[in-house]
Structure 1
């Protein structure tokens, strides 16, 4: 055996694949033929029972899903805080309706309760009829009241049982004649569940009843039955749903309730399978005649035996042929990989197709193309990097020199007592320092607002009237790390285009939402018309490369709104957003939405760095 395994390992992949495939077909076939000859009637019975259980489990899944949806609807109403506030208020108010009450009733019912009931009325593709009854006689429904008077539920014999329930206990009403006027003819039965809603003092402030038409369940039974009987029963054997509607409401034979497997029922051998549900004491029951239960298994065994004998040799020969054809490109790729290993990156496989081998050949060729491109890119990038480093060192000389000279001038002016001009020069000096510190991509919001304040002070020197900067920022937001210079272009646009040369207010506000930090920059300037606003939005949303020279002509920082948007998208991902709103004569607002998770992540990374 070891010698055969060693010999097989030394062969090619194609030969090993062929031998293994034939063995994987031959061995199971021989075992299957041997086992099929000794199969007994007991095995057929077990298979039939298993098929019945599988069918019942499938039905169980559908029925349980429907009942789960009914529970979901009633649970949603019980735990929804907004709905419960309205229900408690309405339960505490008198039934008489004056003008003020009618207004409150319209607002509360339509926008709070009725709207949610309408949303819940069709869940998972099923239609539910929802009724909420208040102790003072008021009611809410998702159906027309001329279809069914909600107060009829109070007359049902089981309604008083609801008073004994507490918490999340549910009363399973079961199947009863349909109460809806236009549905009685085509849908004779309905199935309902009910639950009381209690205050902390155990007082009931509402009753919730969820109803579904019974034929939603019997339709599932009929689709899965295949000539067998399937029923939904309770612990007493009462049938709540059945493939035969005439049997709904009747009680099953006691033998079918206590036994599973092959039993005698009315003098006939019957396969009975029961599946317990997790609701109350309900269960699913499948009844199938013995002959029909095993007929399919017996015929299947005969067909399998004949097909195995006929198909084995045909498929074995076809498999060997197909494996040889399918693996031919793999052999070609193997030879090509050896050529690449020797250093020749110009060869290509030219293998194409819609399957995995075609994808592998195409990816292999693309990989070689990309390697050649990366070699060229790395060479060019290294050259550009050396030139950029030299240019950066040369460009830093003038800003540092100007910064030091400005500090000297500020000190001289302070010595002469001109504090106002000294403060202006100090603001210009600090802005210049921020442009020199190229390594700080992210700064705290406090530093960003200080930078913006200096910028506004400098711009006020060039204006006829001063602009006022108002900050509405919570203390915990000042330590959040943000991209450097991302607010300055917005402030500049507000000064130049929004306020023009007149005075006004620029307001910067920050607030936290559950998953987002919102930064809003608003001005009370002239605003813009819709056409100009749409043009600005398209410009800000588009990304494009501009030369440094044109950027410097556009604004102080050289960063336009589109570049600000691109920076936010690069740092925070697609979950960030920039929104521009404006109206003529009412000013302009630019709002940034930044995910709080991403903000925290940037904060942590910046602190760590």
Structure 2
């Protein structure tokens, strides 16, 4: 597949256009999503507040019904009259005591806490009942066989159940109040007598009366724990069972009758009933949809206009770069006389001017190189003639040493000899590896020079194992470590430095120890971490001799011996520092050919 090749200008223009359109689309999408979420949150808060109000309303209704049952059950006069009427009804084969019936009916009619239509029914065993409503042409004996009542005859006394929805059992009011919400309680007239029932019923319309105040924004419903709708402004929904997810209130966004709704559940304090609020999601987010569409069209218009302006400006701004590119191509072909002639005070103008000046300097440098080549041989010859033969220097130093010895200055002669030996070791780089005893001898000469230089002498003790004297080590392995101990450990004062060696497990161990000031744990950690960093130019390392320092020793040994080489530093403040080198003997002998 052929890839589309684009020039730098085309890439720049395409990138600029993408940088305009991508953030715009992303901002539009994020704004839409965030706004919808905010509207959804506000709708949920509003639904929760309205459910709280509806909860108070429904709770007041149910409290009235509970109060009515308590007033009947715990009114001694009513209970007395009920006992009289029931006794006569049983003893006289269904005869009704008129006086008791009248008193009970008057009591039931005089309840003052009922604000709206309420049906009060007291069912006594064996078919005797009392109501606060007219039973003319109405026989309630069928209630004794109703399943929702029949199952309560065996319940313990004071058992209260909530029932709903149910058809209105007062047939004269069924057209006006088709459904009822009832509460039933068991009680006994005498100990061990059959259960009697108190039934308090209210039309379902009283419950959904509060729901209608929040339409059409919200759909409210009262449902039981099985998910059966008890009350709703839509009569067709009453008695239907809703989805389990509605019952549990698991989802905040549900599908109801093919329309998405925001669902909020509010549990009531009795019977496991709850209220559900459904808010039309499209109604909540409808305005934001039109706003987003308007914003999208507006952004498209702005994008087209500004893209055309930006396209024109970018072409004008980048044309000097195109001309500079063409000039560079001709220079690459060998034409050094061409110039871009790009002017201006901006970056591109300065770039063109610098490019032209660079070509001028290149031409000038070419002429200079041609002239310098002719002088190079003469300069090299003069340089060689000016050099001093190093062997001549060594011979002069030896002559000075002999004359000093002849005059009896043996200490000074020894110092000059040490200087001569150290210079010879520094200049002579033919042998990369030396026997350990020669490396230590170099260190001893170095220490003689340091003691000669300073007033306070430092003691160097050497304890090399005899089987390690001929083992080879890289040149100038020990001298930087001794110098580090002398300068930083002993601070150029009197003290003692010891060098010991031993063999163990196919490796040569060399230890350099001083009794100087030592290092703190933090300083030691910093030094070790710096040494472990490869090619770090900012490490705090000691001074160098002939380009070789502590870092170079560590890195050079690591390069030569690899992972078999180890460097260990231990230090105690006030006691001194100990450096241990582990050098593999096999690599030393086989790879480098030394014995």
Task: Report the TM-score range of the alignment, normalised by the length of the smaller protein.
Answer: 0.3 to 0.5
TM-score when scaled to structure 1?
Answer: 0.39
Higher CA-based Rg: 2
